[in-house]
Structure 1
Amino acid sequence: MWKRTWPLGVLLLATACGTANVGGGTTPCTDIGTPLGVNVDVEHPGVVSGTIEVCWDGRCVTPVLELHPSTRAVETTCTGTAPDDSCGARMEPTGGVQGFAPVQDLPAREVTAALRLLDQSGSLLVDRHIPLHPEMVYPNGPDCPAGGPQAGISVDPHGAVSER
């Protein structure tokens, strides 16, 4: 029974994930989604919240920008190198915050962003306007269709803002 149903299951799984014929070969391209918007990575101390406004062609949008504490892996352990082995990582806070502002109709061309970052008391720590150049993201790799454009902003510990 298992041998008869297994090939059908594989066929259904491959069909559900989707495939694309690229360069005469078949490259698996899943239906993975790509959020459109702007990543914000802040190293400036004391920032707890912020707003962003993104403008293009005379239109501006102010998406929600939720900032969360940033972490980094400081220690990793693995049980081996085989595909069935597992690895773990110990994370620690970096002192910074990061977030993503979804911008549904973000174009893959230059836009302008106004970023305002606040501390716990609501005092303005950063208020900058920056040109951004959103680029198409390929979640399944360059041989599969693009998922949509994203841009990124970095804020260093001194409050300097740059595109990343």
Structure 2
Amino acid sequence: MHRLTLIAALFAVALSGCSDGSECTAIGTPVGVSVRVQAPIAASAETAEMQVCWDGACKPARAELRVFQETGDGGCDGDTCKATAVPTDDKVGFATVQGLPKQPVEVRLTLMGSEPVAEHTLTVTPKGRFPNGPECGEGGPNVVLTVEADGTVRES
């Protein structure tokens, strides 16, 4: 009997090291609408004002637009590499929309500067996101809108 207990204990210890090593962090996924505005339109846009509608009701949302930064190469020294933040001519912002569903919604988007810069209405479908991978559960939902340089808007 002791031998069987010892074997079972050894198996338990051996199997405890079989996890894939991934951990679920406390990082979350914001619920709402992300907006990216490309140049040259971004130069005149300061905010993105929205009405997000579903099931017969609308919720207002507002995103302050800020300069979008890309990752630039900061060079390497031996086995250590650096990255730098490089400003672009594009702008980005995020507007929280509580209760946003994972179903089609209508978004009325107005880019504002000192006066309206552009207005668009489109139907998009917010999606759940997995910031830590699918094994850690779903966050969101949210949707990303891109205002192209020519003024068209697409779900990205």
TM-score (norm: length of structure 1): 0.74
Write the mapping of 1:8-87 to structure 2, written as runs, cut at 5 A: 28-43=23-38, 44=41, 45-81=43-79, 85=80, 87=81
Q: Secondary structure at the match of 2:88?
A: strand
**1:106 aligned onto 2:100:** yes
Q: Secondary structure at the match of 1:157?
A: coil
Q: Residues 127, 146 of structure 1: CA spacing in aligned structure 2 closer, same or farther, 3 A cutoff?
A: same
TM-score (norm: length of structure 2): 0.77
Could you tell me how far apart the structure 2 residues matched to 1:109 and 1:145 are?
A: 19
Tell me what 2:3 maps to. Answer: none
Q: Residues 74, 29 of structure 1: CA spacing in aligned structure 2 closer, same or farther, 3 A cutoff?
A: closer
Q: Give the aligned residue type for 1:32.
A: I
Which of 124, 130, 143 matches 2:122?
130
CA displacement 1:123-150 (0-9 Å, x = unmatched): 2221000111111111110122101211
Q: Residues 140, 80 of structure 1: CA spacing in aligned structure 2 closer, same or farther, 3 A cutoff?
A: farther
The alignment's C-alpha RMSD in Å is 1.9
Q: Residues 112, 80 of structure 1: CA spacing in aligned structure 2 closer, same or farther, 3 A cutoff?
A: farther
Q: Residues 80, 55 of structure 1: CA spacing in aligned structure 2 closer, same or farther, 3 A cutoff?
A: farther
Could you tell me how far apart the structure 1 residues matched to 2:134 and 2:67 are?
A: 31
Which of 146, 149, 156 matches 1:157?
149
Q: Runs of 5+ in structure 2 lacking a partner?
A: 1-17
Ranges of 4+ aligned residues in structure 1 off by more than 3 Å: 24-27, 78-81
Q: Give the aligned residue type for 2:82.
A: G
Question: Percent sequence identity over matched residues?
Answer: 35
Is the CA contact 2:35–2:48 (under 8 Å) kept in the aligned structure 1?
Answer: no
Q: Give the aligned residue type for 1:115.
A: L
Structure 1 or 2, whichever has the larger Rg, is 2
Q: Give the aligned residue type for 1:105.
A: G
Work out the number of aligned pairs and report it. Answer: 135
